[in-house]
Structure 1
Amino acid sequence: MTPQDLALNTVTSEPLNAETPHGILKQDRTPNELFFKRNHFSFPEIDGNEWRLDVKLGDSAKSYSLDDLKTFPAKTLLVTMECAGNARKGMDPVPAGTAWGVGAVSQGEFTGTPLSNLIAEADLPEDAIELLFVGADHGLTKEYKEAAYERSLPIAMALHPDILLVWEMNGETLPVEHGYPLRLLVPGWYGMASVKWLTEIRAISEPFTGFFQAKDYVYEGHKGVDEIADGTPVGAKVVRSFILEPQENANVPSGHVDISGIAWSGDTLIAKVELSFDEGQSWVEVELGEQTSRYSMCRWSYHWHPQATGEQTIIARATDAAGNMQPMEAVWNTGGYANNQVQTITVNVN
């Protein structure tokens, strides 16, 4: 199956939210036109020639064109991008919010300059604790108040060399729907942190309490074994795996079945992926492929010899290098965030 045979699955049309077809995840780089799309508002209209990034760090204030930014040293990262609400529909009851299935995840190669290069040109005020990132997209929030999409990062995190200001995606100019002319990239976190259509960066001396940081994208009513306090912001991606082949309800031969899939975590390598063919009573480890970076997917495979014919279930479970393992059941919270329960598929063995 080629990219031409596949299409995004539209979840909402206004604003546009659409899922990547799973078949395309067999490729290391999801084509830009099939990369999942997550928006809170309509796309802003921006003239790239007139656009400027205003950087206000204390007494230092500078304005950069895209050409200015491209004079800084560039860096390219292969990153798995995932929406924090991915698999929200898999929770019971289904929380309010965009009704994502499991397609709000893609992988791409992003090129830009480390944010730290711009910070190095300024003297940060002593009382600065965070940097605020302002996007050009704006509209009414769930509270029916006008707001721009804004998020902040602690200064120490903003200085990490892998926090990028991105102008290129998969070797092409950053598409409008993914933040042209410039977006922030926070590679280990869910996508909400990577502000698109970036127009302003400024230092702030108090924790940011804007809607998309203090009221949206926070954990509330978390039901997990590891308690997360209400109001804790959503941050790093949690460990996850998918079976890509065979697909749900596929007919497979009884002699030999090749099972393959992907796994990823926030900024941690995958330690192992296991499969169960008896509803979780026992597990076998699969063969892991090379993981290009700690931000990218790890591919895996297993040669299965079914012991019986008829309907069979396959469960996939990943564990990352920090020891985090996927739970058997969805960990419910009111926002429907970070659902990383194990994947179960059913196949028919002939």
Structure 2
Amino acid sequence: MTKPEINSTKDTQNTLRDRRSFLKKSTLATLSTLLGAEIVHAVSMPRGYVPVALEQGFDPMKGKSEGMIIRNEKPWNVEPAPHLLNDPITPFASIFIRNNGLIPEDVDAANWTLTIGGESVVKEKTYTLDELKKKFKSYSYQLVLECGGNGRAGFYPPASGNQWEEGAVYNSEWTGVRLKDVLADVGIKSDAVYVGYYGKDKHLNGDPNKVVISRGVPLAKAMQDETLLAWALNGTDIPLAHGYPLRLVCGGWPASASGKWLHKLVVRNQVHDGEKMMGDSYRVPKYPVAPGDTVPDEDMKIIESMPVRSIITYPKSGAMFGTSKKLTIQGHAWAGEHQVKEMQVSTDFGATWLKCILKKPVNRLAWQQWTVELGFPQAGYYEIWAKATDDQGISQPMVMPGWNPKGYLNNACHRIAVKVS
């Protein structure tokens, strides 16, 4: 894998700001020259808009990254380019990696245990991995896991954290036992409201007593059929980087709610207060705030269901083809706890929209495949924008949604650049 430059320093941010400012002030002729082609639907292009091929800083003749992009090496965080997510079920090689600490070493699955305790269990109980497999019925579901910060790179001013673009999401098949069945076996009290997790990952500072991350979900989410204690991913053992040998999986919510290397669950009579449950970690303002504002802790809320979103997985950005060729566009759409009801694309900067063929999800909380055939009668530079609408009538915004301190929940329309010659 090629290691990209990490755009996290103030100098880099200043450079990007100056570059954006220059591009926004540039004339249409200048932008066309930089792109190497006429902007076909320039009349519909919003004032001050920066073409995606220039904003994202890649040569439209060559396209974007060919593979996996390293966002951070310690901890290990890696993102695939969107075109690597074209499969209905995401293969191991294209699954993004988001870790908060160091991957545990010398994992012994044969002696792995899960303890379920907390103030709201009748009696603490411990299970071996083998006992979980034998005592409870197993289930398999395709589930979408998406980083809460997917799309963070699109926020301005920049938000701190890994600068994910569009690839910190995947849809794979998980196999395990339903958490609700195990909780029923343990016994939970009537005052239970939340379930928190603890994993075996190690803190970056090496302190074995310091918790890396301990998040969780409300009891209602824990009791959903699709919330699993999983040991298999795509029909085989979960890869070590993704939580082997046992992981809590809560599809449709930020992937940080799906604890890796799971060895303990606590049933709480209050909202779980573990590491990265407070402050601005996986929390957003309760009301719109101006970019750069500081938000009081009491005005923040925990991210739960992820917003409606879609990606274009074929062709990859930067594709070139002739005017006589019809092009089949492919992608996926998802909407957290909800289902996507309509999928549309635009080739004229959102002036008009064309409805796509949208498949139903394989099961609840899985993503949906979509396709549409497009023709390009005139040579030049085009952008394809993708917009999904969920079953609540909520659509993706065409521009960056409300700013927040950590750059969460950016579900603006995915855009790719293509050149017709």
Q: State the match for 1:219 in structure 2.
A: 284
Deviations for 1:2-25, whole angstroms, at most 9, x for unmatched residues?
A: xxxx74321111110001232332
- Of structures 1 and 2, the one scoring higher in RCO (CA 8 A, sep 6+) is 2
After TM superposition, the structure 1 stretch with the greater mean CA deviation from structure 2, 185-194 or 47-56, is: 47-56
Aligned: 1:297 with 2:358:
no
1:342 and 2:413 are equivalent in the alignment? yes
**Preserved contact between residue 220 and residue 335 of structure 1 (Cα < 8 Å):** no
Matched residue, 2:110: 49
Q: Judge conservation of contact 1:16–1:37 (CA < 8 Å) in 2.
A: yes
TM-score, normalization by structure 2:
0.76
2:166–2:414 Cα contact (<8 Å) kept: no
Structure 1 residue 347: Cα displacement? 1.5
Structure 1 contact 221–334 (Cα < 8 Å) conserved: no
Residue in structure 1 matched with residue 152 of structure 2 by the alignment: 88
Partner of 2:165: 101
Which amino acid is 2:89 matched to?
A: R
More helix by share: 2
Provide, for residues 253-284 of structure 1, a one-character-per-residue CA deviation record: whole Å limited to 9, x for no partner. Answer: 21322222221111222111111122111111
Deviation at 1:40, TM superposition (A): 0.3
Separation in 2, partners of 1:224, 1:280: 26
User: Which is further off, 85-94 or 116-125?
Assistant: 116-125
Q: 1:63 to 1:221 in 2, by over 3 A?
A: closer
Q: Distance in 2 between matches of 1:82 and 1:131?
A: 20
Q: Aligned letter for 1:298?
A: Q
Partner Cα separation in structure 2 for residue 304 and residue 271 of structure 1: 21
The answer to whether the aligner puts 1:309 opposite 2:374 as a matched pair is no
2:268 is the alignment partner of 1:208: no
Q: Counterparts in 2 of 1:322-333, with a 5 A limit? A: 322-331=392-401, 332-333=403-404
Q: Which runs of 4+ in 1 moved over 4 A?
A: none
Do structure 1's residue 158 and structure 2's residue 222 form an aligned pair? yes
Higher mean C-alpha displacement, 9-18 vs 284-293: 284-293
- 1:182-197 alignment to 2 at 5 Å? 182-197=246-261
Change (3 A) 1:231 1:224: closer
Partner of 1:234: 303
Shift of 1:169: 0.3
In structure 2, C-alpha distance between the alignment counterparts of 1:305 and 1:101, rounded to whole Å: 27
Please state how far the C-alpha of 1:136 moved relative to its aligned partner.
1.5
For the aligned residues, what is the CA RMSD? 2.3
Task: Find the counterpart in structure 2 of residue 16 from structure 1.
Answer: 76
User: Partners in 1 of 2:363 and 2:181 — Cα distance?
Assistant: 22
The partner residue of 1:251 within 311, 315, 320 is 320
Task: Mark the CA change 1:12 to 1:222 in structure 2 (over 3 Å): closer, same or farther.
Answer: farther
| Alignment partner, residue 3 of structure 1 | none
Instruction: Provide the C-alpha distance between the structure 1 equivalents of 2:412 and 2:257, rounded to a whole number of angstroms.
Output: 23
Task: Specify the SS of the correspondent of 2:98.
Answer: coil
Give the letter aligned to residue 237 of structure 1: M
- The alpha-carbon deviation at position 122 of structure 1 amounts to 2.6
| Residue 61 (structure 1) shift | 1.6
For 1:269, the equivalent position in structure 2 comes to 339
Unaligned runs of 5+ in 1: 1-5
* Partner Cα separation in structure 2 for residue 169 and residue 181 of structure 1: 10
> 5 Å matches for 1:89-168?
89-139=153-203, 146-168=210-232
Deviations 1:72-92, CA, capped at 9 Å, x for gaps: 100100112211111111111
Corresponding residue for 1:39?
99
- 1:279/1:41 CA distance change after superposition, 3 Å: same
Gaps of 5+ in 2: 1-65
Which moves more between the two structures, 74-83 or 20-29?
20-29
Please say if 1:76 is aligned against 2:140.
Answer: yes
Report the equivalent of 2:234: 170
Decide whether the 8 Å contact of 2:82 with 2:312 is kept in 1: no
Give the deviation of 1:146 after TM superposition. Answer: 3.2
User: 2:373, 2:327 → 1: CA distance?
Assistant: 6
Letter in 1 for 2:126: S
Task: Give 3-state SS (helix, strand or coil) of 2:211's partner.
Answer: strand
TM superposition shift of 1:221: 8.1
Q: What is the alpha-carbon distance in structure 2 between the residues aligned to residue 176 and residue 120 of structure 1? A: 29
Give the Cα separation in 1 of the matches to 2:367 and 2:219: 28
CA distance in 1, matches of 2:183, 2:361: 31
Query: Which one has the largest radius of gyration?
Result: 2
- 2: CA distance, partners of 1:345 / 1:22: 10
